[in-house]
Amino acid sequence: MKKLEILISGASIAGPASALLLARQGHRVTVVERAPRLRPGGQTVDLRGAGRTVIDRMGLTPATDARLLDQRGIATVDARGRRRSELPVEAFGGNGIVSTHEILRGDLAEVLVGAVPESVEYLWDDSVRAIEQHTGSVTVSFERAPDRSFDLVVGADGLRSAVRRAAFGPDDRHLRPIGLRYAWFTATIDQPLDGWYLMHNSRGGRVVSARPSRVDGTVKASLAVRGSDPEPLHDRESQWRMLEEAFDGVGWVAPRLLEQMRSATDWAYADLAQVRMERFASGRVALVGDAGYCPTPLTGLGTTLALVGAYVLAGELGRSGGEVAPALTEYQAVMRPFIARTQQLPPGGASGYAPSSRAAVALSRFSYWSMDKWPMRSLLAGQFAKADGIDLPDYGA
């Protein structure tokens, strides 16, 4: 096995998972992350199907199991917080919209980073600025660190990947906005969740939600609104102002969340989009996770896809004995059909999640009630079964 010098950009899910698997093969791995430290925050993410198999093959099941959240189900509430419909977690055998294997995104990132071998070097508070590919290497320029050469660069830096921009061209070539803007942060509300994911739909495609957290007294909140930003809202002030305007007059805990969002220490915001690429690896640069094939949180499969991507990339590199070109060709071939399946949005897409008219909001409440009944049940069971839609190669130890 050739020992390679590998750069990974991004330290959330796809990045640390890749770092862990590649460092275990003996490669010299450097991780660059734009944030000054591991980013906290996010609501729960699902460990489903093949994603759970990857966690198991990494030997991390005990660590993730210890942090699973006690989930009771999902319920819609009206503007006064009264429950209107419920879908208990057992409805799809523990594998539905809310599953029995949900973990906070921040907890999963911590588990992965905690398992990364100590030999891995981190460059915090930095970012890839430019990439120049040569026949046998890649030269990377950083915002702060001096230029360096690598044998392989892995872009695991999310929806607005700097590696993708530097190696594959501008965002608008690859991003397909789905028309939903989404913010996540930790907050407090005056209604106990008791393990329930509570969601309030308001006219105009506005959704307020609160999900369980592991810290008593806090919830993992989100605010989502239909539409796309005409220009990317890079600074928080513009994101907050957009949400204050959009959620003006919305009931339930919306006013309280608007008050708290500006002081949240784990703020995250995205104008949701899918990443669609003909090729997500080229020369000595490969994209993993949201950077290369984001399916959006509406599918509930982004984390599974990121874990599977990291596993297949590392597995194929191991199989090729460290030969980058054949490994990247196989990586794309193995991943492509799985990506195509997981990128199919659930019925209704953004308008199903965030209905606009009064009638559509009422219909959406009814749909939660009807989800575990025919014919919705079989439609949705198909969506959740996609997490198993790959025959995961066994790359051995």
Of 158 and 318, nearer to ligand FAD (C-beta) is: 158
Q: How far is the CB of 12 from ligand FAD (least distance, A)?
A: 3
User: In what helix (H) or strand (E) does residue 163 lie, and over which residues does it extend?
Assistant: helix 162-168
Helix axis angle for 302-319 and 49-57, nearest 10°, is 50
Of 84 and 105, nearer to ligand FAD (C-beta) is: 105
Q: How far is the CB of 373 from ligand FAD (least distance, A)?
A: 26
Number of other CB atoms surrounding residue 350 within 10 Å? 21
Token pair recorded at residue 305: 């896809």
Q: How far is the CB of 292 from ligand FAD (least distance, A)?
A: 8
Q: What is the dihedral of CA 359, 343, 298, 52, to 10 degrees?
A: 140
Q: How far is the CB of 150 from ligand FAD (least distance, A)?
A: 15
Q: How far is the CB of 82 from ligand FAD (least distance, A)?
A: 25
Please list, in sequence order, all residues whose beta carbon lies within 8 angstroms of the beta carbon of residue 54, skipping any fewer than 6 positions away.
17, 307, 308, 310, 311, 392
Of 123 and 246, nearer to ligand FAD (C-beta) is: 123
Where do we find the tokens 């071998």? Answer: 117
Of 290 and 330, nearer to ligand FAD (C-beta) is: 290
Of 42 and 355, nearer to ligand FAD (C-beta) is: 42
Q: How far is the CB of 59 from ligand FAD (least distance, A)?
A: 20
State the Cα–Cα distance between residues 114 and 264, nearest whole angstrom: 25
State the residue number with the nearest CB to ligand FAD. Answer: 289
CB 190 within 8 A of CB 218: no
State how far the alpha carbon of 360 is from the alpha carbons of 79, 91, 203, 276, in Å.
16, 23, 8, 29
Q: How far is the CB of 67 from ligand FAD (least distance, A)?
A: 15
Query: Under the rule (CB under 6 A), what is the footprint of ligand FAD?
Result: 9-15, 32-35, 39, 41-43, 45, 105, 127-128, 156-159, 162, 184, 268, 289-291, 297, 302-303, 306
Q: How many residues does the chain have?
A: 397
Of 151 and 157, nearer to ligand FAD (C-beta) is: 157
Of 201 and 303, nearer to ligand FAD (C-beta) is: 303
Token pair recorded at residue 82: 């009264």
Where do we find the tokens 């994209």? Answer: 287
